[in-house]
Amino acid sequence: MPPDSITNPPSADSLELSASEREALGGAALGWVLKYFNEASAPPVYPTVGAAQLSALVDEALPQDAQPVAAVLEQFAMLASFGRNNGHPRMFGYVQSSGSFAGVAADFLTSAFNQNVTSWRSAPSATAVEHQVIDWMKAMSGFDREAGGILLSGGSLANFAALAVALRASTDVDVNQLGVGALPGKPRIYASAMTHMSIPKAAAMLGIGRDAVHLVPVDAEFRMDVGALRTQIASDRAAGHHPVCVVGNAGEVNTGAIDPLHDIAEVCAEQRVWFHIDGSYGGFAARAPRAAPALAAIGRADSLSLDPHKWLFAPLDAGCLLVRDPRHLKRAFTHGAAYVDVIADRDMSEFAFWDHGPELSRRFRALKIWFILKCHGARAITAAIDDNIAVAQTLAAAIDASPDFERLAPVPLSIVCFRYAPARLRGQRDTLNALNRTLMVDVQREGEAYLSNAMIGDDFALRACIVNYRTTAADMRVLLETIRRVAARTA
């Protein structure tokens, strides 16, 4: 809907729009969203714009008086045209899904409903929906049906919360009250050398320190070396250190590698160490036929992080932590204060989310996940995930069959790491690294496709992350043709 009919608010001292103004503004906003989804597959994927140009477009003094809403919407539409098109089927830059329309509509309703989901008392229906959504995500990932869980902003906060829970569960010492200095030995966290940056960052925020994170070597497929893990835990115990947890990858974000989860679970059981799985990327692939065997041991973890805004096709932001024994969540996060005391009658629930996670104020994130699962169904979502994996395998096969490309890592999920490597440059690592760095930026600026990067050993890799339900095998052909065209121009 064009914004032509939208006028200013009725007066400078009022924040209330009239019914007709609300209808016009809402219609115009919906119109923009519909147009965006209708044109999601149209290039460019990435705009040609400079930082100084964008800063100039928004540079203005603090608005003291109301501006015409039509002008505000027009300015938004202009600024949006300079955003990265995350819904484009050739947006391969990061593990971020495009977001389904059902989730977008739910986010709009969430903002209007404006529930602060701190407890049942504050948001009864929203709390009920979140509990239901948590149950559904346990079913989709193959986690324990009796587990507890909480929605958070994303995988990074879910991993932080998981380490906080594991730390508290690792000892009878009240580290919440006394701090980590009261632990019987130096804390140790074990993670793959390919672990996500959120793990050492969480260790730093918890006061354990990044040095407490021992990076376990990986094999040729970038999976944790379980023998090295077992040896390291035993060595640390003998030295008087305090093992806190092991973090396994269910799809790490460089290559998509899946650690040998069953074998890690065996080590953790033997050594009595908490087992956390970072499933932020791959956890929802647990039911996808092409990935299910490698992810079958997810249910053996003590905790699991998930990111619905990755492969559940939910709009940002939505993360999740599941914990096998819900009592550990309360042990880690319960802290009372008079202003949050739950005073309830017999018909009210005393459940409070602040006892189960690090946040007090919480957005109603569950509604978009509830909408997506009800509007599409788990079967269709799992099929889309499996199709993404199939498309990634198609790209890997095309790379393997091409004389001018080289694959640099296996493809267990939907990330493909490769490089442009014509025969005349094979063996010239520094030259290939420099060339592919240039190609990545030039391809981004071309606007036909968007790639990011990873370091595979000492090799600079072009990284294609396929987590969009719109992406097809035809997009893989366009990607390789685009790289070849840009490379020819660069040469």
The band of 18, judged by pLDDT with boundaries at 50, 70 and 90, is confident
- Write out pLDDT tens, residues 125-141: 999 999 999 999 999 99
Q: How confident is the model at residue 276 (pLDDT cuts 50, 70, 90)?
A: very high
Helices (H) and strands (E) in the chain, counts: 16, 11
- Residues contacting 457, CB < 8 A, separation 6+: none
> CATH number of 379-490: 3.40.50.880, 1.10.10.10, 1.10.357.10, 3.90.1150.170?
3.90.1150.170
pLDDT tens, residue by residue, 352-394: 999 999 999 999 999 999 999 999 999 999 999 999 999 999 9
Q: How far apart are CA 61 and CA 54, in angstroms?
A: 16
Rounded Cα–Cα distance for residues 1 and 28 (Å) = 5
Measured torsion, CA atoms of residues 200, 202, 205, 209, in degrees rounded to the nearest 10: -30
Helices 101-113 and 19-38: crossing angle, nearest 10°?
160
Which residues fall within 8 angstroms of residue 190, CB to CB, at 6 or more apart? 213, 214, 216, 229, 232, 233, 243, 245, 246, 247, 273
Where in the chain are the domains? 19-75, 107-376, 379-490
Q: Are 116 and 361 in contact (CB under 8 A)?
A: yes
Q: Regarding the domain delimited by 107-376, which CATH topology (the fold level of the hierarchy) does it fall under?
A: Aspartate Aminotransferase; domain 2 (3.40.640)
**Tens of pLDDT, residues 60-72:** 998 988 888 888 8
Q: How far apart are CA 181 and CA 328, in angstroms?
A: 21
Whether the per-residue pLDDT at 168 is higher than 60: the answer is: yes
Say whether pLDDT at 336 is over 70.
no
| Cα separation values, 177 from 181, 326, 339, 355, 433, Å | 11, 20, 20, 15, 50
11 vs 364: which has the higher pLDDT = 364
In angstroms, the CA 5 to CA 285 distance is 47
The mean of the pLDDT values for the chain is 92
Render pLDDT for 30-70 as a digit per residue (tens, 0 to 9).
999 999 999 988 888 888 888 899 899 999 998 988 888 88
**Residue percentage of the chain with pLDDT more than 70:** 94
Whole-model pTM: value is 0.93
Q: What pLDDT band is residue 341 in, cutting at 50, 70 and 90?
A: low
Integer Cα distance of 410 and 416 in angstroms: 8
* pLDDT at 235 (0 to 100): 96
